[in-house]
Structures are given as C-alpha cells and as structure tokens.
Amino acid sequence: MFDVHCHILPGIDDGSRDVEMSLEMLRRETEQDIEGVVFTPHFYAAQNDPETFLRRRDRALKELEASLNELPKIPKYTVGSEVHYFRGMSRADGLEDLCIGNSDYILIEMPFRDWQPVFVDEIEEISTVLGLKVIIAHIERYFDQDKKLVKRIIENPNFLIQCNAEFFLEKKTASKAVKFLKKGKIDLLGSDSHNLDDRKPNLAEALAIIEKYDKKGALDHINRMSRSIFDQAI
C-alpha cells in the first residue's frame, strides 16, 4: 500500500515539527508495511509563490534525508504538494512544478468555504487546459458542500478521488466510507498524517476495515493507481 498524502517533511507546514518527529512517522509507516510515501506539504498561494515553496520544500527534504540513515528501513518516497484552491490557479505560472515527483499528477485541496460552480470550473480547467491529472484530496471533507458540485467532482472521469484513513476509522463516517468503497468511488488512500498523536500515520488501521468489506477488488484498484503514480514520479 502507498500513502499518497501526508505531512511528514519537517518544519515546512503544520505537520511534523522537526526531523525527530519525521523519522518516527516514517518508522511507523514502515511498521505498517507501507511501500511508498508521497510527502505533500501544504501550498498556499497567498503565502508563497511556487518557486519559494519549492526552495523551502527542498530544504526540508534535505534536512530529513541527512538523518535517514538512523532508520534501518524506510518506504520509497517522493515529493509533491497539497495545493489549496486559489482563484486563477488553472492559469498560474509554475503550477505544474507542484506535481508529484516527475509525474503530471497534482493533489488539490478544495476550499472549505461554500463552493460556487466557478470553483469546480477552475479545477476542471487544470485538467483540460494544463493537461494535469487532478487528485482531489480527502473528498470526505466536502460532503456538506453543494451536492451537485460534489457530484461533478466525483463523477469527472479526469479526476482521481483520494480518501483519508480517518474516513474509515471515525464512527460517524465509517459506514459511509464503506458504501463509498463498494461503489468504486475511491482511487487513492492517504494517512494525511501530521504528527504522532491525533493525526498519526494510520493507514494500516483503515486497511483492516477495507479488507473486511472489499468484495469487488476496490483495494486492488487503489494499489494499481498508487503504484502507477509512483512509477511515474520516481
């Protein structure tokens, strides 16, 4: 299994605060038999331009890599970003540089304010105009938005849908997560881990639930999609 969404890089966003925490988070990923990890720190256009963000990300990665020999084993890894929606992003310079590794897959976080049709239009243009392959981050966080707009996102054949492990682990959402899985609506999984406490690496816990209810090969699909992205990225 691959963790395609996490905040393990040290000191770059609201995720891991330092290298020590990052190493422990990676150790826990290894314990859970996670084969590959995509480091996806938050990108907010209001705070950084892509060039500045990439310099900061590279520094964080080098800082972590300098200490990786302290671990006996680590998953494969690559870097990407979690790009928060911003107006005009489909025409923004350097957006393609925020993709996962060398691939053309880009992880997009939709806004949490009330959606307008133009928000979805913008994301669709990232695919149709820029030719990038859009991954919608943690779709379960948007279910209280306009149902027609959420449906547009979910049913767009050019988008991949990513869910967090918490979708399956929270009592109030677990049954909905299983229904979503059975309908074949999940393409990718991520821990979205930020720390070692309330947002820890937890994919193995979710996989235990998924394996119990997966009767139609949904997990095989998720693994194929994740591996395809990784193969392109590294």
Predicted confidence (pLDDT) per residue in 17-70, tens digit:
999 999 999 999 999 999 999 999 999 999 999 999 999 999 999 999 999 999
Quick one: pLDDT at residue 187? 98
Q: Is the pLDDT of residue 230 over 90?
A: yes
Quick one: pLDDT at residue 138? 98
Query: Is the separation of the CB atoms in 21 and 64 below 8 Å?
Result: no
**Mean of pLDDT values over 214-229:** 95
CATH number of 2-233: 3.20.20.140
Task: Enter the tokens of residue 11.
Answer: 């000191």
Does the CA dihedral 164-165-168-172 come out positive or negative? Answer: negative
Distances from the Cα of 153 to the Cαs of 24, 143, 177, in angstroms? 35, 11, 17
Return left, alpha or beta for 192; rule: phi > 0 is left, psi -120 to 50 is alpha, else beta: left
User: Cα separation of 202 and 169, whole Å?
Assistant: 9
Quick one: pLDDT at residue 188? 98
Tens-place pLDDT, residues 72-111: 999 999 999 999 999 999 999 999 999 999 999 999 999 9
Quick one: pLDDT at residue 171? 93
Quick one: pLDDT at residue 176? 96
Sketch the domain layout of the chain as residue ranges.
2-233
**Mean of pLDDT values over 128-132:** 95
Tens-place pLDDT, residues 144-183: 999 999 999 999 999 999 999 999 999 999 999 999 999 9
Task: Enter the tokens of residue 144.
Answer: 């209280």
Quick one: pLDDT at residue 215? 87
User: Cα separation of 80 and 82, whole Å?
Assistant: 7
Where residue 115 falls among pLDDT bands split at 50, 70, 90? very high
E-state strands within the chain:
2-6, 36-39, 42-43, 76-79, 82-84, 105-109, 133-136, 159-164, 188-190
User: Cα separation of 228 and 222, whole Å?
Assistant: 10
Reported pTM: 0.97
